[in-house]
Structure 1
Amino acid sequence: MTGPAGSVDRTGRPGGGPRPTRLPGPAGVGHATGHHGEILQGVFLDADGRPCRGLVTLPLPDAGSAAAFVRRPGSPATGLDVVPADRHKARRAAAIAVRACAGLAGERPCGGRLWLRGSTPVGIGMGSSTSDVIAAIRAVAASFAVRLPPETVARIAVRAERACDPLMRDDTAALFDSRRALVLEEFGRPLPAAVVLSCVTGGGRPVDTLALPTPPRREAPAFEELRAALRRAVRDADLALLGQVSTESARRNQRLLPKPELATLERVADRTGAVGVQVAHSGNVAGLLFAPDPPDLSDRLRRAVAQLTAYGLPVGRIFDISAGRQTWCTTTSPTRWADRTWSGSTTD
């Protein structure tokens, strides 16, 4: 069985999808992209003027998770298993989604089996768990032939993992409260086109996102200024302004998750003509942002790769967020862009 448009192949790239050898019974497949950390993250004011966490992620179109779910009608709803067996958050999400989707379809909740495959590294701030969770929710919904709106998917995801990234949203940038599954501001357009040179800081060590402290309320005015600047950057497709917002956000989050390499990233960005730096504020992936159209872009990228490598920062890939395609890749990073494949039989 081939996957639908928008699913992923066995390396996580668009166009394929889970291909179980047999999918007996009512079955569905789902996909979710990953991200490359945040452009902006901090404390903001919601519609009622209350301070809350908020973030804007940088999309990573060619990585993510694929899921296949097979229902067992008539079986107990507790009889739900997942392959690989350690995807506990995705299993919780699937169980919640089964109850929600069964109600919408006028059927009884039942058990089933969920298969997952992902191409996003775990624990370095690229949304691997949320990608698994959303792919699982979408696969369950497809098995019931129902469509869940993004806000419902977000609520299920937060129930399953306590906080989630806004990967259920497509195309447009948004400021998202990851703990309440709430869109604080919809910017109405995608982020400006950029080429991103990815690297890994901190030796690629995993970060416990939920253990990180919250920025104090007194910082809300400064982050609200960055929010307004990002709004203008998106409205005007102003990549230079986006780079300024991203760099300043990275600096402000040093108090919460210090990155000793940030000064080096900024130095290389200045030397190679990047518009700014971008980091995972709750992980160790980072990047340099380049305009996509300079005639000497290839030379800038080569020099940036050489300098980052000389400073001991492993380079992962270069990708174009406007075209949604990977433009260049290397495997020098100790945190490989490996496929987190499922194992075991896909027969039921």
Structure 2
Amino acid sequence: MIPAARQAVSSAGALSTGTGYASCHHGEILQGVFRDAGGRRCAGLVTLPMSGLGSHAEFVRDPSTPPEELSVFPENRTKACRAAALAVEECARRRREAPCGGQLRLTGDIPVGLGMGSSTSDVIAVVRAVADSYRLRLLPDTIARLAVRAELACDPLMLDGRPVLFAQREGRVLEVLGPALPAVVVVGCALGGGAPVDTLSLPVRVHDDEDVRAYERLRALLRRAVAAGDAALLGEVASASAWRGQKLLRHAEFDVLTDIAKGIGAVGVQIAHSGAVAGVLFDPAFPGIGPRVRACARALESSGIPATRTFTTFPTTKEFLHGSAHRGIDRQAGSDTP
């Protein structure tokens, strides 16, 4: 692998290496249909950020090659390859240069197919790496525009964790909800044995005016939760959104998951709208939060729901997360999934 330090091969047609990184998320807190500032309906979502896992990209730009000579490793990362070509076109235009080819390498540790934004993470890391090779830093709205073109819909990972209502099919922010989500502890798990969800096979649900009003009410509640740092209200919104999502996803373990959450004193549950990843949400201010978290992981396991990892939406010490609940079980990243 070519090191991150830039490498000049010759004064004419020099190779230039750029690197980029993007984190993942843990599914959605809220997902549905909302109205934008102009009153138009559009699909939108609010993701639950999760640090520690992500995609790394390295792009070696070669001005001596035509733009169609663009290789990617692993070879099955087709969305990432499209993103690289689009980013080269964008950056070359800004530098007033001709687009060229190059070599792209991706590495990462995000589980694929669970609804954690692995493909968007790849795409954003690639766009940042290409821009870095041109000595450019693209703004988030530009990255979002390129990401939507590369994969038709994207998650708001280019915003680095800020809670926003994001129109995933249009690549634009509908509302900035605040500086940070309320503090919660999340016990992650995988429904359906962790099998990928083929969203293309799901029936298309038509949302009526009552659906839109319901989602707008949840949007208002989430806005209040963020402003007040209210973990309980955040859990209420996430649970309501997860329940509405079951009209399409129909996870067999949903009732078991919610029963465990209620019985152990959690504030709610959240589920990815395009995968099997889910989380039980706890208010860290509750007495005995450590034993609650560990008891939750045990209850999930005994019910046949694999516990994956425990994390927080706030900075904390390692000791806070250590224990039997912090399994740290992750799958190797693989190819793009529908």
TM-score by length of 2: 0.90
Deviation at 1:214, TM superposition (A): 4.2
Deviation at 1:207, TM superposition (A): 1.5
Q: Assess if the C-alpha contact under 8 Å between 2:185 and 2:313 holds in 1.
A: yes
Post-superposition CA distance 1:120-154 (Å, at most 9, x none):
11111000000000000000000000111101100
Give the Cα–Cα distance (whole angstroms) in 1 for the partners of residues 208 and 26 of structure 2: 26
Say yes or no: does 1:202 pair with 2:192: yes
Post-superposition CA distance 1:166-221 (Å, at most 9, x none):
11012421001111111111112211111100000011111123554345133100
Percent identical among aligned pairs is: 51
Q: Assess if the C-alpha contact under 8 Å between 1:105 and 1:146 holds in 2.
A: no
Structure 1, 204-213 or 231-240: larger mean CA deviation? 204-213
Q: Assess if the C-alpha contact under 8 Å between 1:117 and 1:339 holds in 2.
A: no
1:123 paired residue among 108, 113, 126: 113
- Which residue of 2 is the match for residue 32 of structure 1? 22
TM-score by length of 1: 0.88
- Which residue of 1 is the match for residue 239 of structure 2? 247
Q: Assess if the C-alpha contact under 8 Å between 1:62 and 1:325 holds in 2.
A: no
Q: Within 5 Å, which residues of 2 pair with 1:65-84?
A: 65-84=55-74
Classify the secondary structure of the residue corresponding to 1:30. strand
2:212 paired residue among 220, 226, 246: 220
2:134 paired residue among 141, 144, 168: 144
Give the Cα–Cα distance (whole angstroms) in 1 for the partners of residues 231 and 206 of structure 2: 26
Counterpart of 2:129 in structure 1: which amino acid?
A: A
- Which residue of 1 is the match for residue 327 of structure 2? 330
Structure 2 alignment gaps of length 5 or more: 10-14
Q: Structure 1 residues 195, 267: CA separation in 2 closer, same or farther (over 3 Å shift)?
A: same
Classify the secondary structure of the residue corresponding to 2:310. strand
Deviation at 1:22, TM superposition (A): 9.7
Say yes or no: does 1:167 pair with 2:157: yes
Deviation at 1:98, TM superposition (A): 0.3
Give the Cα–Cα distance (whole angstroms) in 1 for the partners of residues 193 and 291 of structure 2: 27
Say yes or no: does 1:281 pair with 2:273: yes
- Which residue of 2 is the match for residue 4 of structure 1? none
Counterpart of 1:281 in structure 2: which amino acid?
A: H
- Which residue of 1 is the match for residue 226 of structure 2? 234
Give the Cα–Cα distance (whole angstroms) in 2 for the partners of residues 325 and 338 of structure 1: 25
- Which residue of 1 is the match for residue 253 of structure 2? 261
Classify the secondary structure of the residue corresponding to 1:202. helix
- Which residue of 2 is the match for residue 178 of structure 1? 168
Give the Cα–Cα distance (whole angstroms) in 2 for the partners of residues 68 and 189 of structure 1: 30
Post-superposition CA distance 1:42-85 (Å, at most 9, x none):
11111221211110000011111010100001210111011101
- Which residue of 2 is the match for residue 346 of structure 1? none
Q: Assess if the C-alpha contact under 8 Å between 2:5 and 2:17 holds in 1.
A: no
Give the Cα–Cα distance (whole angstroms) in 2 for the partners of residues 121 and 202 of structure 1: 15
Classify the secondary structure of the residue corresponding to 2:46. strand
Classify the secondary structure of the residue corresponding to 1:207. coil
Post-superposition CA distance 1:292-327 (Å, at most 9, x none):
233411110111111111110000000112127873
Q: Assess if the C-alpha contact under 8 Å between 2:79 and 2:151 holds in 1.
A: yes
- Which residue of 2 is the match for residue 317 of structure 1? 309
Counterpart of 1:302 in structure 2: which amino acid?
A: R
- Which residue of 2 is the match for residue 46 of structure 1? 36
Say yes or no: does 1:301 pair with 2:293: yes
